[in-house]
Amino acid sequence: MATWDLERTKHHVLICNGSTCMKKGGEEVTQAIRKVISQHNLDDIIHTTRTRCNGRCKDGCVVIAYPKGTWFKEINETDAQSLVLNHIMNDLPSPKMVYSYDETFCLNEGEKIGVDKREPQKQKKS
């Protein structure tokens, strides 16, 4: 990580390390993403930060990538290479994209952006 010299930093990747995402492999996801970044000498370009809960536990493990503010869901360690090289570095779409602040991003028809962030057992029965 090159946080002392941000001149080359182009992407900031937030990796959810909240308790639910950690139960869904958050540590492995964190290590796998950081390993891909290092293996491809992208440490100066991509900065990663572990976060607490991002409020979308049902989507865990959640990863958010800036500058586009793209939210990814259900990321596991096998997604790390594709996430870093295809989606973050090369802007290719991913079925694991939930939302992006980038105006060119489109959801699949019928897909909802909002989710109930509570665990299923705590949600009201309707």
**Interface ranges with ligand FES (CB under 6 A):** 16, 18-21, 53-57, 60, 62
Nearest approach in angstroms of CB 7 to ligand FES is: 31
CA distances from 76 to 3, 14, 91 (A): 26, 14, 19
Q: Which residue lies nearer to ligand FES by CB, 13 or 42? A: 13
Q: Which residue lies nearer to ligand FES by CB, 42 or 71? A: 71
Contact 60, 110 (CB under 8 A): no
Query: Residue holding tokens 């865990």?
Result: 60
CA Rg value for the chain? 15
Instruction: Report which DSSP code applies to 44.
Output: T
Nearest approach in angstroms of CB 124 to ligand FES is: 19
Nearest approach in angstroms of CB 17 to ligand FES is: 8
Cα 115 from chain centroid? 16
Q: Which residue lies nearer to ligand FES by CB, 38 or 49? A: 49
Q: Which residue lies nearer to ligand FES by CB, 42 or 98? A: 98
